[in-house]
Each structure stands twice: as C-alpha cells, then as structure tokens.
Structure 1
Amino acid sequence: MLEGHVAYVLTHETDEYLLWNPLTGQCYKQFDSFCPLQSVDCLFDDGNVWFNIQQNNTPMAVYFDYSKESFWKQLFPRNFQGAQTQSIQPEEIIYSDTNKSMVDDLKNRIERTLKCKIMEWRPKQPTRWNRQCTCILRQILPQLELDAGSFVSSEEESEFERLLQFYWIAGFAMQMPYTDVQSVIDAVYQTGIHASEFPQTEFSLAVYIHPYPNNVLSVWVYLASLTRKQ
C-alpha cells in the first residue's frame, strides 16, 4: 500500500470485520473498496502469530478465521509454553486533560499565519476578507467535528442563503491531526483556493481545534473564496 508495510488493528463487531488505521483512527469495513490496505499477510495477538496461506491476500477476499488451518499457519503450536515475555505497554494508561488555553493560542496562531500566507501567495492581487462568511464558518466547524445531525443549523443556513444571493462561493473544510503548523500551511496551499485571479474575489478563513486528552488535537480549516455576482 502507499503507506508501506503497516500494521492495522482488526476487530470483529456485529458479524463483520473492521480494519482500523491506528495512526489516524480511520475505520474501514472489510469489503470497503476505499480501504488503503492492499494485502493481509499475517495476524497476531498477545499469544501467537498466524501467516496467511490463502491464495488471495486482499482484505476483501481474506477469510479471517485463523482457526482454519487450511487458511492460516500458526507460528507457535497450541501447547507451546515458552517464556512469557513482558508487554512493552504499561498496565495502566493515564490520560491527562489538554490545556484549553494552549489550544486557543494555537488556533489563533494558525489562523493568523494562514492569513499572512494567503496574502503572501497572492503578491499581484489584493486579498480581501469577508467577515460575515467567516463568522458562519466558525459556527460550522465545531459541528463537523462532533458529527452533528445536520450540516448547518437553520439560522446558519439562512445566513448562507443571503450570502449566495450576492456571491458565488467555493471552498470546503479540511480536517487533519495536528503535528505542526507547517503541515497545516501545506494542506491549505494544496487546495489552490488562494489562486483565484478575479480582482473582486474575497476570502473567508476559519480555524477550529478540538482537543482530546493527552494533547491530541483535531484541526479543522475552512477556506472559501467569494466572487460577487454581476
């Protein structure tokens, strides 16, 4: 696969197998054609390792029941009583709260940096910011992280409809785990939204960071371009 040799987490839930990317937390059903995992070569748990000897090793074709000896070859015999190795994982994982003040400071820093970068990427064009649209985007982003039932509330939808009477709007929200500010900058640049050459184009930018324990941060960026209708 594109990620190279990786280890996914396999779970069996409600009569179906799920494949989890432990880095991103993304979950894929076994028969999901968009799953990036291309092959399953072995399974392992805390007691044994099983090697896949099936003819087809693509996730959709693999039979995951490792009790079938015609499909899986185990490394250690069932009665193996080797030396018990100590787990490298701690017996208890302590989760600490993420500092909310730090999150707010980081959000403001990312937003300021992105605005400066967008203006820097447009050296021959003025960069105007639409505050009304920015306010709407700031209300939308927390709902996306929490997977609210509707994309926008009726109030926000009405505000968007008023904007659409006067502007053509193009843009979308991006979500990424936080690693560093430069990664966020690169992701925004790759959208190309800043490259609009219409002289009357306006922009809206909103950043939202949802904190999880142990300083795990989910970063949302919504960048939109607005072109006034003639």
Structure 2
Amino acid sequence: MEISKPDSSSTLDSSPSSPVALQQEVITLWNAATGDRYSIDDALCPLHQVGCVYDDTNVWANIQKESQPSKMRFNFESGSDWRPLYRRGDGTPIDQLMNKNKRLESVQPSQLIYRAIPDSYTTKIENNLSAQIRRNVEQWRRRGITIWNGHVGSILHDLLKKLEEVKQNNIEMKQQHDDLLNEVLSSYVVVGFPLNYAYTEPRPIIDEIFNTLIYENNEKDVQFALAVYCHPYVSNFCSLWVYIVSLVQK
C-alpha cells in the first residue's frame, strides 16, 4: 500500500488528542497493485495494520500503541509516534546516502526495461489452467461423467477477449455480451459468470471456482463449458480471465 501524505500547505495536529477526522481528510491509502484508493476509515480497505512508512527521504517505524490506520496519527515529525531510521548527527551515513537534492538514492535502475510476452507463454498458461480447472471440477462432482461443451467454450473464449477490451477502455458491454451469448441462451439455461485476475498462480483461481458451487448442478443432462483467456501486458504481467458455466438443455 502507498500513503498519500498531505502537501506542504496542510498540517496535522500531532498531539495525542488529535482528532482522527482531521487525519482522514488528508491521508489517502493507495493499493499500488490495483490502483484503488481508500480513506483511512474505509472498512473495505485491505490494509489493516501499518508497521512502517517510507519515502525517498527516510523510513519511519510506527511506535504508537495503535497500528490500525483509522486510529493512528500520521505526523511523521512527531517523535512519540514515529521513529525515523536515519537521523542527522547520530552517526548514520544519511548524508552519504542522499543525493544533491537531499533525497535518498533509489536502488531501482534509472531506466526500466519492459519485455514483450511471447504468445507461447500465455498459451501455456491457458492450456495448463484449463486442464487443472476441468480436473478439479470432475473431482468435486464425483457423480458420473462430466461433459464439457467445447462449442460453447469457444464462444466464451471470444467473449473474454471482448471483456478485456471493455476493461481497458472502460466502456459498456452488457448488450454486446448478451448478443454474443444469444446462440447459447436460445438453447440452454445458462448459469455462470466471468472472473478476472492479475495472474500469479493457479491455486487462488481454483479455490474461487470451488467457492462458486457451479459444479453442484445435478440436473440429469447438465453440461459445462469453460474458457480461459490470458491477455499479455509486459514482463510476465497478465490479465487472466476465466468463464465457467453450467448448461441445461431447454
């Protein structure tokens, strides 16, 4: 998580009685992985504890009794709330670490190189994950043969590509989604939905599919359809889509 501190024109009361409401007006918490932002009293914020904070000038350890963001004070000048790693005059080589602008030098390369992802990489992810999901669904069902409808699966795969475009361009697609599924909806009762992830590994995806309980459809002639689409960005970062549905003939 990243913390947006108030600008130089904003001040925080560093006394123990400082009202949390004032802090909430000037402190914003950012999820650096997703770009989502939260106020410090947002119940949906995934950041529950703050142990340390850093920027390009120093690193501060939280020495307050509270570590929950909504109950903390974020005045980094307060020695009773935050302990800096580097202090001038205490023997630490902070002057050597800082550049001419009095900022700590970054260990990150000055120029980042982003490499394109080969098609073979995304194809391998799609094939491996599809096989794992099918295998797990068949194990979870434990009743007869699980039939996979490949034709519907190919339709869902094309639809996932459209959904990635929608996500990138922030456009409305409900009508287009329904139109693309019209052929399927005219023949089957369809239950299911698409799922989207920043891909890291298969296990969290398989666990979430398990929690959907889609595989528990026990209609006599039920079929299933699955599509996995991996959209490449750069340097092995991928947007991973899964569309899984149950199908019952009308």
1:149-164 correspondence to structure 2 within 5 Å = 149-152=171-174, 154-160=175-181, 163-164=184-185
Q: C-alpha distance in 2, partners of 1:182/1:75? A: 38
Q: Secondary structure at the match of 2:215?
A: helix
- Percent identity, aligned pairs only, is 30
- The gaps in structure 1 that reach 5 residues or longer are 1-7
Mapped partners of 1:106, 1:93: distance in 2: 25
Matched, 1:29 2:51: no
Provide Cα deviations, 1:48-94, integer angstroms capped at 9, x if missing partner. 23344556542234443424566544344456684235754333322
Distance 2:6 2:225 in 1: 42
State how far apart, in whole Å, the 2-side matches of 1:125 and 1:151 are.
37
State the one-letter code of the partner of 1:139: D
Unaligned runs of 5+ in 2: 8-25, 98-104
* 1:97, distance to aligned residue in structure 2 (A): 0.9
Q: Is structure 2 residue 68 aligned with structure 1 residue 58?
A: yes
Name the SS for the 1:97 alignment partner: coil
- Rg (Cα) greater in structure: 2
1:102 and 2:125 aligned: no
**Structure 1 pair 12–169 and aligned structure 2 pair: CA distance change class (3 A):** farther
Which residue, 1, 5, 17 being the options, matches 2:28?
17
Contact 1:12 1:18 in 2 (8 A): no
CA gap of 1:52–1:118, structure 2 versus 1, over 3 A, is closer
> What is the aligned partner in structure 2 of residue 216 from structure 1?
237
Matches of 1:33 and 1:168, distance apart in 2: 37
Query: Deviation at 1:206?
Result: 0.9
Query: For residues 112 and 76 of structure 1, what CA distance do their matches in structure 2 show?
Result: 52
Contact conserved, 1:41 with 1:52, CA < 8 A, in 2? yes
3-state SS of paired residue (1:60): helix
Scaled by the length of structure 1, the TM-score of the pair is 0.73
The answer to which structure has the higher strand fraction is 1
Are the counterparts in 1 of residues 133 and 206 from structure 2 also a CA contact under 8 Å? yes
Computed over aligned residues only, the root mean square deviation of the Cα atoms, in angstroms, reads 3.4
Higher helix share: 2
- CA–CA distance in structure 2, aligned partners of residues 80 and 72 of structure 1: 17
Going from structure 1 to structure 2, the CA distance change for 1:159 and 1:143 (only over 3 Å counts) comes to closer
Distance 1:13 1:71, change over 3 A: closer
How far residue 166 of structure 1 moved from its aligned partner, in angstroms, is: 5.0
Q: What SS class does the counterpart of residue 210 from structure 2 fall into? A: helix
Q: Which moved more, 1:119-128 or 1:200-209?
A: 119-128
Q: Distance in 2 between matches of 1:97 and 1:159?
A: 30
Instruction: Please name the residue that 1:74 is paired with.
Output: 84
**Alignment length (residue pairs):** 219
Kindly report which structure 2 residues correspond to 1:138-153, keeping only aligned pairs within 5 A, or say none.
138-146=157-165, 147=167, 148-152=170-174
